[in-house]
């Protein structure tokens, strides 16, 4: 009985480094941050992304159905300052009426 090393057992044709195959690069996927002009910011949440806390906003887009909402970072929202001011003002008025 001949003993085989783990490499010979797992890679009968040789190790992967000895094979002369060019690995195919992964497909390029474009990530689209927004889907057009923003209609309204609905909610906010904090998440941890790459070891840092990040605030994201639930955004509803113009000319989209109500179920087409998306969580976006502040810098990914078109006209973000305007919409964030409106969102924060609406939250303040809701809290003062309670």
- For residue 88, give the CATH number of its domain: 2.40.50
pLDDT at 64 over 60: yes
pLDDT tens digits for 26-39? 554 444 545 788 99
The pTM score is 0.59
Residue 24: inside a domain: no
pLDDT at 83 over 90: yes
The share of the chain scoring above pLDDT 90, in percent, equals 39
Residue 2: inside a domain: no
Calculate the CA 51 to chain-centre distance: 15
Domain count, the chain: 1
Indicate the Cα dihedral angle 59, 46, 30, 26, nearest 10°. -150
Residue 76: inside a domain: yes
**For residues 35 and 13, which has the higher predicted lDDT (pLDDT)?**
35
Residue 98: inside a domain: yes
The per-residue pLDDT for 29 is: 41
Which residues lie closer than 8 Å to 66 by C-beta, 6 or more apart?
A: 60
Domain that holds residue 78: 33-98
Residue 48: inside a domain: yes
């Amino acid at each position: 009985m001949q003993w085989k090393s783990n490499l010979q057992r797992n890679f009968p044709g040789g190790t992967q480094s000895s094979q002369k195959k060019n690995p195919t690069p992964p497909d390029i996927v474009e990530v689209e941050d927004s889907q057009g002009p923003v209609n309204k910011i609905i909610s906010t949440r904090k998440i941890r992304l790459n070891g840092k806390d990040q605030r994201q906003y639930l955004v509803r887009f113009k000319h989209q159905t109500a179920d087409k909402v998306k969580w976006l970072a502040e810098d990914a929202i078109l006209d973000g300052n305007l919409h964030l001011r409106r969102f924060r003002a609406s939250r303040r008025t809701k809290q003062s009426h309670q």
